[in-house]
Amino acid sequence: GNGARVPVLVIGTGYGGSVAALRLAQAGIDVHMVEMGQDWSTVPPGPDGKIHPKVSSPDYRSFWMRTRTKQPLSNFLGFPIDKAVPKYAGILDAEDFAGISVYQGRGVGGGSLVNGGMAVTPKRQNFADILPSVSAEEMYGTYYPRANSALGVSTIDPAWFERTSYYQYSRVGRKHAERSGFDWTFVPAVYDWDYMKAEDNGSVPKSALGQEILYGNNHGKKTLPKTYLAQATATGRVTISALHRATSVRPTAAGGYDVVLEQINTAGDVVATKTVNAGKIFFAAGSVGTSKLLVKMKSTGALPALNGEVGQGWGDNGNIMVGRANHMWDATGDVQSTIPCSGIDNWDAGGAFAEVAPLPAGLETFASFYLAITKSPRRAAFTYNSASGNVDLSWQTSWKQDSITMAKTIFDKINRKEGTIYRTDLFGTNKIWGDHLTYHPLGGAILNKATDNYGRLHGYDGLYVIDGALIPGNTSVNPFVTITALAERNIERIIAADL
């Protein structure tokens, strides 16, 4: 409530925030978490009787405060598929900046609610490029294993992979990759593979095999509310306020920080404004959320001593999407698991790692679809726009050309070998590349630059960054395992030294 005092406030309930909350609580410290999205475990089911709708039928539950859906694949067979929806605190935010739309999860559990669940530890030889100031030995010896274990990461049963019709698209992807001489690998995930097998044999309700992913999974996925956050709340020391958005942080003369929170309803109206005092604050609002807050606080004079690195070093993890049109004899299947389980690795030679992704349309599309992560060198900055009161991002759409060039090292070669072409109907009319978005925002408060080497913000005692904002723009693979492992490393040091 208004005027409350808490020892530790965590802003955001994604990976970084959940790690912080659990480890602080286990150390005996009371933690309060605020989350602007909903607690989906308390949301009543929709007209389909479920909490979360399928990817093929987005509705009011799907998007954060939009009046029209903004599906990542905007077109199908040439037709635009977006539609009007009532404005609502839906689960997926497509946050539009001038040059890029940044997709993020909204709700208790952050990105874990909407993501593909691919849980990838980068190759150790690439780690120095990802986090140059962090000991690879400590990360690969201690913190990556700790994160993988707490997240519940595992790999698909290879024998089942070979026989289920739901991964035909992945097997076709493998065939094409290997015929062109690329390394193809299984990708671990946080889905319960035994549950998926039970979905396949019809003994449980379908989730990954029932077109659920982008707008939430009703079953099967080990999201943060089932892992870190379940453990954290079980300590009895962690409370979570959903539909509460942090808008301001400033130091008080008596010590600690005053935080302004706006409580909103599901239509986005502010229903109450509260000020709470916190001894320490962990910024865990995600790369974009944390960066926006810090840049605004520095520019408006609330936290003027933050250094000039705040807002810098943002990247899109080189995300680029593309589809290929297959021959009639290479059907990818009218049923497809939404959880990708394999990838094509051309990182060393071409700067691209491409997931073989599903197109769960419910009918045969003869398309192979991919989300590539590329070694894009481009970095953007957040700046406060005093005229609009918003925080802008300097990313340019044309910068995606670097990612396209790298992705083409894989797909041009496969197309030549197979005698196939790119699909031009998925992202607009005659548009090959999905170059307008990222799922993997990273940076804005880079470790060892805006903060010290453990996430302590320069200029203020007791302010920490512990999410994807710490990571300098690229992780070479999908990011959440690295975000989690880095948070495990940093919170261990902070608990030992600062609390």
Annotation marks residue 488 as catalytic: no
The answer to the question of residue 467 lying near ligand FDA (CB under 6 A) is yes
Residue 416: CB minimum distance to ligand FDA, A: 29
Nearer to ligand FDA by Cβ, of 344 and 418: the residue is 344
If the CB atoms of residues 144 and 413 are measured against ligand FDA, the closer one turns out to be: 144
75 versus 112: smaller Cβ distance to ligand FDA: 112
DSSP E strands, 106-196 = 183-186
Indicate which single residue of 35, 212, 425, 492 sits in contact with ligand FDA (rule: CB under 6 A): 35
User: For the chain, what's the residue count?
Assistant: 499
Please report how close the Cβ of residue 207 comes to ligand FDA at its closest, in angstroms.
15
Residue 436 CA to residue 72 CA, distance in Å, equals: 9
Binding mask 371-390 for ligand FDA (x = CB under 6 A): --------------------
**Complex with ligand FDA: residue 292 or 324, whichever CB lies closer:** 292
Of the two residues 393 and 413, which places its CB atom closer to ligand FDA in the complex?
A: 393
Q: Which is nearer to ligand FDA, 326 or 354 (CB)?
A: 354
| Bridge partners of residue 238, in order along the sequence | 31
CA distances, 426 to each of 79, 116, 226, 260 (Å):
9, 19, 34, 42
Quickly count: other Cβ atoms within 10 Å of residue 135's Cβ.
Answer: 14
Residues 291-330 contacting ligand FDA, CB under 6 A:
293
Stretch that binds ligand FDA, among 196-204, 284-292, 302-310, 325-333 (CB under 6 A): 284-292
281: amino acid identity, one letter: I
Residue 82 is given by DSSP the state: -
**Residue 193 bridge partners (DSSP):** none
Strand 31-34 to strand 75-76: parallel, antiparallel, or no bridges (unpaired)?
unpaired
**Residue 76's beta-bridge partner residues?**
79
Stretch that binds ligand FDA, among 111-119, 167-175, 251-259, 272-280 (CB under 6 A): 111-119
Per CB under 6 A, does 106 bind ligand FDA? yes
From candidates 134, 284, 341, 380, binder to ligand FDA by CB under 6 A: 284
Subset of residues 192 to 251 that bind ligand FDA, contact rule: CB under 6 A: 214, 245-246
Whether residue 138 lies in the annotated active site = no
Nearer of residues 143 and 326 to ligand FDA, judged by Cβ: 143
Which segment (144-152, 199-207, 325-333, 478-486) binds ligand FDA by CB under 6 A?
478-486
C-alpha dist (Å) from residue 84 to 70, 212, 280, 398, 472: 10, 21, 42, 29, 36
Binding status of residue 11 toward ligand FDA by CB under 6 A = yes
User: The dihedral of CA 284, 319, 75, 324: what is its sign?
Assistant: negative
Smallest distance, Å, CB 119 to ligand FDA? Answer: 6
Beta bridge partners of 258: 250, 277
Alpha carbon separation from 371 to 18, 107, 114, 439 (Å, rounded): 27, 24, 15, 10
Nearest CB to ligand FDA, comparing residues 69 and 104: 104
Binding piece for ligand FDA, criterion CB under 6 A, among 106-114, 153-161, 301-309, 377-385: 106-114
DSSP for 215-272? T--SSSB--GGGTHHHHHHHTT-EEEESSEEEEEEEE-TTSSEEEEEEEE-TTS-EEE
- 95, 309, 355, 418: which is the annotated catalytic residue? 355
* Binding flag, residue 53, ligand FDA (CB under 6 A): no
Contact 260, 247 (CB under 8 A): yes
Confirm or reject binding of residue 105 to ligand FDA (CB under 6 A). Answer: yes
d(C-alpha 428, C-alpha 447), whole Å: 38
CA distance 296 to 290: 10
Of 35-43, 170-178, 195-203, 346-354, the window that binds ligand FDA (rule: CB under 6 A) is 35-43
The residue assigned the tokens 């406060």 is 384
Applying CB under 6 A, what is the total number of residues that bind ligand FDA? 38
Phi, psi of 350 (to 5 degrees): -130, 0
Q: Which of 212, 262, 440, 488 is catalytic?
A: 440
Which two structure tokens, joined as six digits, stand for 153? 């990461």
Residue 51 binds to ligand FDA (criterion: CB under 6 A): no
Strand 320-325, strand 433-434: pairing = antiparallel
Which tokens belong to 62? 């799907």
Q: In sequence order, what are the residues at sequence separation of 6 or more whose Cβ sits closer than 8 angstroms to the Cβ of residue 421?
A: 324, 325, 415
Residue with Cβ nearer ligand FDA (104 or 326): 104
Please tell me whether residue 14 binds ligand FDA under the rule CB under 6 A. Answer: yes
Residues that bind ligand FDA (CB under 6 A): 11-16, 34-37, 103-106, 110-111, 114-118, 214, 245-246, 284-287, 289, 293, 439-440, 467-468, 478-480, 483
Catalytic residues: 355, 440
